[in-house]
Amino acid sequence: MPYRSVNPATGELLKTFPEHTNEQMLVALDAADKAFHVWSATPIGERSKIMNKATQLLLERKEELARLATLEMGKRIAESRGEVDLSAAILKYFAENAESFLAPKSLNSIMGDAHLELSPIGVLLSIQPWNYPYYQLARFVGPHLMSGNVMLLKHAPGVPQCAVAFEKVLQDAGFPRGVYTNLFLSNDQAGALIDDPRVKGIALTGSERAGEALASRAGKNLKKSTMELGGSDAFIVLDDADLDHTVAMAILGRFGNNGQTCIGAKRFIVVKPMLEKFLARFIEAAKALKLGNPLDENVTLGPLSSDSALELILRQINEAASHGAQVLLGGKRMGNVGAFLEPTVLTNVKPDNPAYKQEFFGPVALIFPAKDEDEAIAIANDSPFGLGGSVYSTNIERAKRVASSIDTGMVFINYPDVSWPDLPFGGIKRSGYGKELSNLGLEEFVNKKLILVPNMPATTR
């Protein structure tokens, strides 16, 4: 099945790419396996120079890359530029910091002189989604190429031009052949790679269903994996929140990237003294969003990534309404051309409603009233997901206390979840496992080898 590049704002087919054959896939795997032995022995200073060159090329090609992302998945052009900037920042961060992250780490042991050495493990398989077509790649490439690993990359079928353009940046930066290879593969082919003993680790950002299948297969092969499987992040508004700031952050957190963000604010849990005022202001601000062509600099909300994504979320909205949810705003497709959804606000979503524990991957906000702080925490934790979340209060110590009570991988105070190179990224529960970015992300796919010089005579056991 070919990889298809379709403009979700117009429905126009832009380009198609055939899948790689099994033979081509195995040739790429063999090249990666051979490249690992060379790349892992390359001094880290040389790796850093090449990574810094890739950083420079990303910034030089920002307009070209941003336009491709907007055309392929509908991201507003300003957000596409921001994504390229973030991707460059990630590569630069690991180019500058990997050497210290990988330095031997002394251990305070009564057994003697002990330390850990961090070394790469080999060929990694990375399977990435369409919603951030460069950032998703950069947050894997930055740490794991700098640590000396090499990788095969299966990108989402909807963003093939972005996949090719990113690979070209790395090639032009000077990464040797086999260190990073983009492959257009089927799910069955990706599974076959997991089974191959030359592949040592697997990283997925995707759906729960994909995570279940790939984690199971990785486990069967006794291979390390990391999984980022989405979320339904809580946005908790306490009774002492700054309303102007909170509403602005709510719009940013829910409608940024056209609502298609794993760490987007999705469940708005508002204590009752603030509910009426927050809801009125939030709906007013959502109504003011301007839907349209994401290449238009004045547009503030673009399309969903595809017609199939739009159809899925419309089914979710209709199912939620049929189980008692109230649609306060939107809920319908806009126009007949393009995958546009009106900004949507749902309330009265009870625990027996299927929507209560679903992820809405688009511009849909679910509103939950809470009688007090304790109930807000309980609602936030009553979710199968645990990726991120945020808390809004003018009392920072109170907000920190609430944040500490939320069962999730990340919590932000008075700001929606964001990603940055030096912040560890990852979740718990059905949002997956493992960390990306920061030193913790780099350490996911290295061998932490203990070396000990004992200070005592050998004994028999």
Query: What are the residue numbers of the active site?
Result: 228, 262
C-alpha span between 349 and 324 (Å, rounded): 7
E runs forming strands in 219-264: 224-228, 233-237
Half-sphere exposure of 368 (CA within 13 A, CB side): 30
Tell me which residue of 260, 254, 335 sits closest to 304, measured CA to CA: 260
Angle between the N-to-C axes of helices 135-146 and 160-173, in degrees from 0 to 180, rounded to the nearest 10? 30
Contact between 426 and 228 under an 8 Å Cβ cutoff? The reply is yes
Strands 389-392 vs 233-237: parallel, antiparallel or unpaired: parallel
- What phi and psi, each to the nearest 5 degrees, are found at residue 113? -80, 110
β-strand pairing of 389-392 with 344-347: unpaired
342, HSE (Cβ side, Cα atoms, 13 Å): 16
Measured between alpha carbons, how far is 135 from 156 in angstroms, rounded to an integer?
13
For 289, the token pair is 């969003």
Tokens representing residue 256 in the block = 């940024």
Proportion of the chain in helix, strand, coil states, percent, rounded to 5: 45, 20, 35
3-class DSSP state of 253 = helix
| Rounded CA separation 377/146 (Å) | 40
Euclidean distance between CA atoms 98 and 100, whole angstroms: 5
Whole-angstrom distance, CA of residue 146 vs CA of residue 105? 18
- CB-neighbour burial class of residue 52 (10 A; exposed 0-12, middle 13-18, buried 19+): middle
